[in-house]
Amino acid sequence: MPDSLTGLELRSTVSSDGKLTLSLEPVTLTPPGPDEVVVRVEAAPINPSDLGLLLGPADMATLEPGGTADRPTLTAAIPQARLGMMKARLDQSLPVGNEGAGTVVQAGENVAGLLGKKVGMIGGAMYAQYRKIAARDCIPLPEGASAADGASMFVNPLTALSMVETLRMEGHKALVHTAAASNLGQMLNRICIADGVPLVNIVRSEAQAAILRDIGAQYIIDSSAEDFREKLTDAIAETGATLAFDAIGGGRLVNAILHAMEAAANRNATEYSRYGSSTFKQVYIYGALDLGPTELDRGYGFAWSVSGFLLTPFLIKLGMEGALRLRARVAAELTTTFASHYTATISLADVLDPAVAAAYAKKATGEKYLIDPNR
Amino acid sequence: MPDSLTGLELRSTVSSDGKLTLSLEPVTLTPPGPDEVVVRVEAAPINPSDLGLLLGPADMATLEPGGTADRPTLTAAIPQARLGMMKARLDQSLPVGNEGAGTVVQAGENVAGLLGKKVGMIGGAMYAQYRKIAARDCIPLPEGASAADGASMFVNPLTALSMVETLRMEGHKALVHTAAASNLGQMLNRICIADGVPLVNIVRSEAQAAILRDIGAQYIIDSSAEDFREKLTDAIAETGATLAFDAIGGGRLVNAILHAMEAAANRNATEYSRYGSSTFKQVYIYGALDLGPTELDRGYGFAWSVSGFLLTPFLIKLGMEGALRLRARVAAELTTTFASHYTATISLADVLDPAVAAAYAKKATGEKYLIDPNR
């Protein structure tokens, strides 16, 4: 029987009087069950999807460091207006971190073969020095791959693959993607090029366009350009895209995409269709880079749908076999199609440093931070 | 071979310089084909779904009568900003009127049995003294039913029935409906009571609530009341409604419904779900009583969808057998479940009267105008 292990774990707490506190708590893990492993976490990314739980809707202007050098804390105020949305998590000390990678240091009897192996993991609570987890939520990394290589092998790769799976399941011909120069967007370009799926990339600057040109993207539309709407309509008409995935959420970009799809559908229309085209247009919102409201002016008939998209329910809908097929592709193409690049590697204590927090909370496209909890 | 018949037909034209013109044009009908009939139109409703084609986005403050007593016209200005949306219909003289009823005055050889019968019809161009139409787009009215009884037997009855069909197809338990005291909303209440489907009615005034109480509606929520959101959440929690049909479109009501559904889903949640509940919430927008943008703050997780809803594509999806089943129910319950009440019966010339136009364009809940083109 292996010993109990103790390590620090990052916790996020929102108090009922409106204060966010990040802290590092010592946690002692009991030995793994027969189908479990304990992993020393060596790399865990800060994804946009982690920030909601980590920082909540905190006012970033109020960040304040506290605690001791060994056990630092970081606090911030939550605006009163946003506290209502936090009701279900108030006064609970919550672990954070969707995914990560590291070395198996203890293994249950049924999974003893994993001992000493490097694995990627999904399941939350990854911003910790040790993570006990079911072996089925781990994937052994290919020979020669580092923990950093395997840290982001679930959320972004499976989300990008799910977009192409959705296209096939729902019978679309081409895809529109926003915030397209993101880590995920770059993966999506490599997938679509390999699979022959036309992809219309919407970016917000020339610098982002350059990133995608280097990958070989064919359709890159800059939303900051004056002829954005015409160019978008042209690309949609050419590809026949009737499906879009949007990482931004707030504002009028979803609306602009639906207008462009409708205009493209009507380009060849021979008579006036009073209720809009019969071409069905679907936009999935999977992120919230803009927390403002989504505005839909509905000037594109009635054949449209705007929906939330979340990875886990989609994988359940796809079924076990499909999900395993996607995982196998990620493992096989880990350092090519699904390679991630990080702006910086930081320690758990760094996560609680106000200057560092201000940087990773910006969610700047192309920037991504990696935590090494054992640094 | 019957003679050619000539009658007046209402036309709507939007010119490329931004002027709407309504006029009455004499139209001569060639004799019906073997499977066609010619119907003397005696009743055709002005539905909200007709107004878009009839008036476009005209500025109602600029209505101006013109023409002669026999051949009146009505003109109005279209705001420049809205002219772009009209591109596909510019400078075309378009007939108007989705549905109507009247007496068959000529019948093709295969459908001679319809001669002299009263029928309800769907297919556009009903604001006319005569309408030539395929017999399959007509339903003979039950014995004793008047043209007024049969005038609205397609759009509202089939839309209301389609809502309940959608509920069954998509596996929901209960339904939310807005503008619920409308003619359609009243039908929906009678259907849901007969079929045992829980229905949450959202109305905008106590007077509208009273209309629904008289029908026997169980859940009536007044959106003008201070405790609207709590009451709506209570009713949704009690019924388990995860599907809504919205006639209004613009503003924040769709958003409020999604929030209430999410709050109801979370009432019994035992732990914090960071991405929102897994309960899927669907709102269909089928009308546009408010032409403003739909605002979605997305504060209800990712398991939601907001979509346009249009009757004809839905009936195609339902299939021929299903569509005929719905039609048969409408015919059987025409003067009970599907009875319509009209504010006033007007002539074709009245449609072009500025004062009358101002009244029917208001789309006041519970008010509906009937045109008798042969008056």
Residues A275-293 pLDDT 10s: 889 999 999 999 998 989 9
Both A139 and A180 in one domain: the answer is no
Chain A contact set for B286 (CB, 8 A): 302
Task: Answer yes or no: do A86 and A180 share one domain.
Answer: no
pLDDT at A93: 94
Residue A159 and residue A295 share a domain: yes
Q: Is residue B331 part of a domain?
A: no
ipTM associated with this complex: 0.89
Domain contains A334 = no
Of residues A342, A344, A351, A368, the one with CA closest to residue A8: A351
**B280-295 pLDDT, tens per residue?**
999 999 999 898 999 9
Q: Are residues B184 and B243 in the same domain?
A: yes
Residues of A with CB under 8 A from a CB of B: 52-53, 85, 88-89, 92, 94, 249-250, 255, 266, 269, 271-276, 278, 285-286, 288, 292-299, 301-310, 313
Of A273, A300, A315, which closes a domain?
Answer: A315
Q: For the domain that residue B136 is a member of, what is the CATH number?
A: 3.90.180.10
Sort out which chain B residues have CB atoms less than 8 A from A249's CB and list them. 298
Closest by alpha carbon to B203, among B219, B227, B187?
B219
**B205 and B301 part of one domain:** yes
Residue B352: C-alpha distances to residues A70, A97, A344, B42, B289 (Å): 81, 65, 70, 18, 22
Average pLDDT, chain A: 94
Instruction: Single out the residue in B274, B299, B315 at which a domain terminates.
Output: B315
Residue A335 maps to a domain:
no
For testing the chain B interface, which of A302, A304, A309, A315 should be mutated: the one with the most B CBs within 10 Å?
A: A302
Question: Among A115-119, A302-306, B125-129, B263-267, where is mean pLDDT lowest?
Answer: B263-267
List the single residue in A89, A299, A301 with the smallest CB-CB distance to B272.
A89
Domain boundary among B300, B315, B330: B315
Over range A343-355, report the average pLDDT. 96
Provide the CATH number for the domain around residue B231: 3.40.50.720
Q: How confident is the model at residue B184 (pLDDT cuts 50, 70, 90)?
A: very high
Does the pLDDT at position B270 exceed 80?
no
CB of B174 closer than 8 Å to CB of B241: yes
Number of domains in chain A: 2
Q: Please indicate whether, in this complex, the C-beta atoms of B293 and A288 are within 8 angstroms of each other.
A: no
Q: Same domain, yes or no, for A192 and A234?
A: yes
Shared domain for B192 and B296, answered yes or no, is yes
Mutation choice for A interface testing from B286, B302, B306 by most A CBs within 10 A: B302
Whether B170 and B311 map to the same domain: the answer is yes
Q: Are residues B139 and B171 in the same domain?
A: no
B332 inside domain: no
A260, part of any domain = yes
- Pair (B228, B133) in one structural domain: no
Per the CB < 8 Å rule, is A308 touching B308? no
Is the same domain home to A117 and A199? Answer: no
The average pLDDT across A142-165 equals: 96
A chain contacts of residue B307, beta-carbon cutoff 8 Å: 304-307
Report CA Rg, chain B.
22
Residue B91 maps to a domain: yes
* A297-315 per-position pLDDT tens digit: 999 999 999 999 999 999 9
Alpha helices in chain B (DSSP H): 48-55, 80-83, 147-150, 155-169, 183-195, 206-215, 228-239, 253-266, 311-318, 320-332, 348-351, 354-360
pLDDT band for position A363 (cuts 50, 70, 90): confident
Q: Does residue B206 share a domain with residue B233?
A: yes
Residue B330 lies in a domain: no
Q: Is residue A270 predicted with pLDDT exceeding 70?
A: no
pLDDT at B240 over 70: yes
**A330 part of a folded domain:** no
Going by pLDDT thresholds of 50, 70 and 90, the confidence category of residue B170 is: very high
Number of residue pairs across A and B with CB atoms under 8 Å? Answer: 102
Range of the domain at B181: 155-315
Q: What is the pLDDT of residue A267?
A: 86
Q: Which residues of B touch A123 (CB under 8 A)?
A: none
